[in-house]
Amino acid sequence: MKTSINLSFNRIAVALFGFALMCTAACKKDLTPNAKTNTASSKLGTNAIGVSGPKGVCYVEVNNNDILNVGNYTLSTGEQLFDIGIIFAANINYNTTTQKAELFFNPQVTAVLNNAATKIQPLQAKGIKVMLSILGNHQGAGISNFPSQQAAQDFAQLLANAVTTYGLDGIDFDDEYADYGTNNTGQPNSSSFVYLVTALRQLMPNKLISFYFIGPAASNLSYNGVTVGSKIDYSWQAYYGSYGAPNVPGLAKSNLGPAAIDIQSTDASTAASLATQTVSDGYGIYLYYNLPNADSHTYLSNVSNALYGKATVFGSGGTTPPATGVTFYQDINYGGTVTSNIAKGNYTLSQLQALGFVNDWASSVKIPSGWTVTMYSDDNFTGTSWTLTANTTNFTTLSPNANDVVSSVKIQ
């Protein structure tokens, strides 16, 4: 299970191609037992790894880490380590006025999507597929309780619009944090997830759809003769440091991931053992979660040696964070979450967010010798400003108080 993300901060809505957040122009094709489905042999593939062995799927919590890190890891022979990078995560919110589910992105996800040319396309140029994870947000709406086929189709249209707008390669479903029943929403039902993936497959016949195998959806994989497995491409289990293939009728072993690791908490020997078992049992997916900004190639080599007989190398294609740069910290005395190294330049809020910075969040900063940092209280270099030329442990000591108010920065 993913546990480190904080989903309680404010969300911002996404307007896509002029659609209202709940579009009513979704496909109206009925879900029937004889509807056209994907077979295991026709599942959409990826082309990143280029070697025999399980595909690598990697979630990145973009609240704190840079999605470009997915492209920084190659095998010793030059192939990319990861086939799929997943932006974690967009949310299903609930509008109590319209009583409909809505697609929401937090500021960090928004920064990645709005900067697709520099955050998504460089990965795709390397052959890596980039998907968007979708999960609940404690408001009662999730993938398991759409009250009707039309409601599921409407939300599928929003997802398809997002994929088109931002040039994504697909959608990953995660049935966590919905808190079903909140805001008088319905409980999970047997048709919701099947309706949703059926509608999305009709809208996106050539894109990837995957399922993080957890929650009520994992128990509602068939309805009216149609299986979720006939509509999606992949599924992987959700408990890090453990092994167990998801039971998704319609998916072959090559489309399933029985092993899952948290790069920042699963020990290296366990990660290697799970990789060995994945290969031995003939499964086609190995799941990584929580890729950090820091160089993790030594840890990842334990996995890649077991999967492919090759070590992992860090750094490729100019997406590596600079070795020297300014780093902002969430708490005083360089505590809490830290940004990537930030090179010299001028950074608006959206540009900072892509580097792990959160609006009105910074409390301390480390500055390389000889560099100057000018911080601004508002976006686009406006509002109150502070000029710093050395490490600063506590923004409350600045005049005026700069703690938790910085929104844009110039670094020279």
Q: In the prediction, which pLDDT does 389 show?
A: 96
Q: Quick one: average pLDDT of 281-294?
A: 96
Q: Which band of pLDDT confidence, cut at 50, 70 and 90, is reported for residue 2?
A: low
Tell the burial category of 47 from Cβ atoms under 10 Å away from its Cβ (0-12, 13-18, 19+).
exposed
Q: Which band of pLDDT confidence, cut at 50, 70 and 90, is reported for residue 15?
A: very low
Q: In the prediction, which pLDDT does 49 show?
A: 53
What percent of the chain has pLDDT above 90?
A: 73
On the question of pLDDT at 3 being above 50, the answer is no
Alpha helices in 115-247, H assignment, sequence order: 116-119, 121-125, 149-166, 192-203
Q: What does the alpha-carbon distance between residue 409 and residue 411 come to, in Å, rounded to a whole number?
A: 6
Q: In the prediction, which pLDDT does 323 show?
A: 67
- 5 vs 328, which has greater pLDDT? 328
Q: In the prediction, which pLDDT does 26 show?
A: 30
Angle at which helix 268-280 crosses helix 297-308, to 10 degrees, equals: 20
Q: In the prediction, which pLDDT does 29 show?
A: 23
On the question of pLDDT at 341 being above 70, the answer is yes
Alpha helices in 281-369, H assignment, sequence order: 297-308, 349-353
Across 264-285, b (16+ Cβ under 10 Å) vs e yields: bebeeebbbbbbeebbeeebbb
Q: Are 404 and 361 in contact (CB under 8 A)?
A: yes
Q: In the prediction, which pLDDT does 32 show?
A: 27
Tokens representing 283 are 């499964």
User: Residue holding tokens 């190659």?
Assistant: 74
**Catalytically annotated residues:** 176
Q: In the prediction, which pLDDT does 182 show?
A: 98
Tell the burial category of 293 from Cβ atoms under 10 Å away from its Cβ (0-12, 13-18, 19+).
buried
Q: In the prediction, which pLDDT does 343 show?
A: 86
The domains of the chain, with CATH numbers, are: 47-314 (3.20.20.80), 327-411 (2.60.20.10)
Q: Quick one: average pLDDT of 56-81?
A: 93
On the question of pLDDT at 217 being above 90, the answer is yes
- 143 vs 41, which has greater pLDDT? 143
Q: Quick one: average pLDDT of 177-202?
A: 98
Eight-state DSSP code of residue 119: H
Q: Which band of pLDDT confidence, cut at 50, 70 and 90, is reported for residue 47?
A: very low
Nearest to 190 by CA among 210, 219, 152: 219
Q: Do β-strands 129-136 and 84-95 pair in parallel, antiparallel, or remain unpaired?
A: parallel
Q: In the prediction, which pLDDT does 8 show?
A: 32
